[in-house]
Amino acid sequence: MLSLPVQTELLQSLVSFLRVSLTILLIVTPIIALMELLRRYKLLDPLLDPLHCLFGWMRIRKESVVALFVGLIFGIAYGGGVLLEEKRSGALNRRDALVVGIFLSLSHALVEDTLIFVAIGADWVVVLMARVLLTVVIMLILRFFIALEAPVRA
């Protein structure tokens, strides 16, 4: 049998874990539901041109912006799913899939993760700006290493 102080500590840890889990659930569930509605009713389509202008420095095609946007806002799992589906459908070429995948690996779920960090006491400006700046710097460096055209295989 565990001592009373150990039992108390375990109970406090469990309560803290459940509180954080509930907070995450209350943040993530509405975001995922909203994204599904936006995709189902094609409400993201009017955003394609402005988003493409915003991410033009990455030299990706307009068709790639949806997967990038979804991943930025809602996370790498959801954005990765969109990315895979867009690649399978032929909407994304290999280069765009690579660039979007790298970008999302560095800076996914900006809204979701920031809200979660804020819920546990972080400064949202610091979290958001640090992630965005680091991603932009790395992506600008990678532009010199990722060819615009994929090499043709013989």
pLDDT in tens, 83-105: 887 788 787 888 998 999 999 88
- Confidence (pLDDT) at 68: 86
Mean of pLDDT over the chain: 85
Q: What is the pTM of this model?
A: 0.67
Instruction: Tell me which of 102 and 72 has the higher pLDDT.
Output: 102
Q: Which of 58, 129, 41 is nearest to 100 (CA)?
A: 58
pLDDT surpasses 70 at 20: yes
pLDDT in tens, 112-150: 888 889 988 999 999 999 999 999 999 999 988 888 765
pLDDT surpasses 80 at 79: no
pLDDT in tens, 25-57: 887 778 767 777 877 888 878 888 898 999 888
